[in-house]
């Protein structure tokens, strides 16, 4: 199936520092998403993004979080500053359309905040 890539696969960072997670979505997809999964728990929606704008965000998407996709490059999730509770696996997903369109997920970036 369609492939979504994520870089890096694992990031270890000190609390308070900035981190940027990168996602290379499926090439013709228009909608982009970030989800958060704490070890052993369910996947939770953070934000979705379309046409250069955040369309919807959850309460987990704190003020310290931001997303962008400048000119068709990586879709990024930036956290500044990081907190201990940000430790999780972050999954990027993309889809061609909304609602009934399938979302395809990347392999995830494991973020460890010390």
Residues forming the site for another protein (CB under 8 A): 1, 4, 6, 31, 33, 35, 41-45, 48, 50, 55-56, 58, 91, 93, 95, 98-100, 102-108
CB of 28 to another protein, least distance (A): 17
Alpha carbon distances (Å) from 49 to 11, 26, 69: 23, 14, 9
Residue 61 CA to residue 104 CA, distance in Å, equals 21
- Closer residue to another protein, CB minimum distance, 57 or 78: 57
- Closer residue to another protein, CB minimum distance, 45 or 81: 45
CB of 109 to another protein, least distance (A): 10
Closest by Cα among 85, 102, 94 to 41: 85
* 19-24: strand order across its sheet: 5-7, 19-24, 75-79, 65-68
- Closer residue to another protein, CB minimum distance, 37 or 81: 37
Tokens at 108, concatenated? 């995830």
CB of 111 to another protein, least distance (A): 15
CB of 15 to another protein, least distance (A): 25
């Amino acid at each position: 199936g369609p492939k979504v890539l994520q870089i890096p696969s694992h990031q270890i960072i000190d609390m308070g520092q900035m981190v940027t997670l990168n996602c290379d979505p499926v090439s013709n997809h228009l909608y982009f998403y970030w989800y958060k999964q704490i070890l052993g728990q369910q996947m939770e929606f953070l934000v979705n993004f379309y046409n250069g704008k955040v369309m919807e965000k959850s309460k987990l998407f704190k003020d310290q979080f931001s997303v962008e996709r400048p000119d068709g490059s990586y879709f990024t999730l930036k956290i500044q500053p990081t907190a201990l509770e940000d430790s999780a696996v972050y999954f990027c997903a993309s889809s061609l359309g909304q609602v009934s369109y399938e979302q395809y997920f990347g392999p995830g970036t494991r973020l460890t905040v010390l």
